[in-house]
């Protein structure tokens, strides 16, 4: 159970990024989990950071305060408490959902709140594509961290992966042509 002191350690830093039960955003954040049992968990608060610095500073405070916490990317884990927590501190990375393709089209930054469907749509506008999940609602981070259903899809994505962390990841991207998907180039995603 999260104590008020533990919650306030982050609230003091980023009050506007905290969503607690008194906020109308709280139910919306709970509903963003795919699994009904995950949706039933009521964290002490959702923390919705807007950049990597906020994630790292909050993580330091939460660990220093010895607070129980969970991290949610796309929220598609089918495991109970796979990415949710009851009465704990809930990192909700939904606002870290940018897709920034570099000018040279060799790299792209993608936030860990991004889901494969929306990510593909952004890449397709530029004639680019990456190897990833089949279900549009599945999140990019949990999929790559190894929570997939199918070993094959994991090994396909893992083989394009260059680096990974909570906030920064690198995978291969493919340029799309009318003949198919080919011409591998570098794709990098994360929050900075």
Ligand X SMILES: Cc1cc2nc3c(=O)[nH]c(=O)nc-3n(C[C@H](O)[C@H](O)[C@H](O)COP(=O)(O)OP(=O)(O)OC[C@H]3O[C@@H](n4cnc5c(N)ncnc54)[C@H](O)[C@@H]3O)c2cc1C
Binding positions for ligand X, rule: CB under 6 A:
34, 70-78, 82-83, 93, 112, 133-135, 138-139, 141-143, 145, 147-150, 153, 166
Q: How far is the CB of 167 from ligand X (least distance, A)?
A: 7
For ligand X, give the closer residue by CB, 17 or 83. Answer: 83
Q: How far is the CB of 104 from ligand X (least distance, A)?
A: 26
For ligand X, give the closer residue by CB, 71 or 123. Answer: 71
Q: How far is the CB of 157 from ligand X (least distance, A)?
A: 8
For ligand X, give the closer residue by CB, 124 or 135. Answer: 135
Q: Closest residue (Cβ) to ligand X?
A: 142
Q: How far is the CB of 152 from ligand X (least distance, A)?
A: 8
For ligand X, give the closer residue by CB, 105 or 154. Answer: 154
For ligand X, give the closer residue by CB, 8 or 81. Answer: 81
The DSSP secondary structure of the chain, one letter per residue, reads ---HHHHHHHHTT-GGGEE-TTSTHHHHHHHT-SSHHHHH---SEEE--SSHHHHHHHHHHHHHTT--EEEESS----STTSS--SSSEEEEGGG---EEE-TTSS-EEE-TT-BHHHHHHHHHHTTEEE---SSTTSBHHHIIIII-S-HHHHHHHHTTEEEE-SSEEEEEEEEEETTEEEEEEEEEEE--
Q: How far apart are CA 31 and CA 149, in angstroms?
A: 22
Q: How far is the CB of 179 from ligand X (least distance, A)?
A: 25
């Amino acid at each position: 159970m999260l104590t008020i002191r533990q919650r306030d350690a982050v609230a003091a830093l980023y009050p506007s990024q905290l969503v607690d039960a008194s906020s109308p955003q709280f139910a919306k954040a709970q509903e963003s989990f795919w699994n009904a049992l995950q949706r039933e968990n009521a964290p002490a608060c959702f923390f919705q950071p807007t950049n990597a610095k906020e994630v790292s500073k909050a993580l330091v405070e939460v660990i220093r305060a010895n607070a129980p916490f969970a991290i949610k990317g796309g929220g598609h884990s089918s495991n109970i408490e796979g990415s949710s927590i009851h009465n704990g501190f809930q990192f909700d990375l939904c606002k870290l959902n940018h897709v920034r393709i570099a000018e040279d089209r060799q790299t792209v930054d993608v936030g860990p709140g991004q889901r494969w469907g929306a990510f593909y749509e952004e890449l397709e506008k530029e004639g680019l594509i990456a190897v990833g999940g089949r279900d549009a609602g599945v999140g990019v981070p949990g999929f790559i961290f190894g929570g997939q259903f199918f070993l094959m899809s994991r090994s396909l994505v893992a083989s394009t992966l260059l680096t990974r962390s909570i906030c920064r990841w690198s995978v291969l991207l493919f340029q799309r042509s009318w003949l198919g998907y080919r011409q591998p180039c570098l794709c990098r995603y994360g929050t900075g």
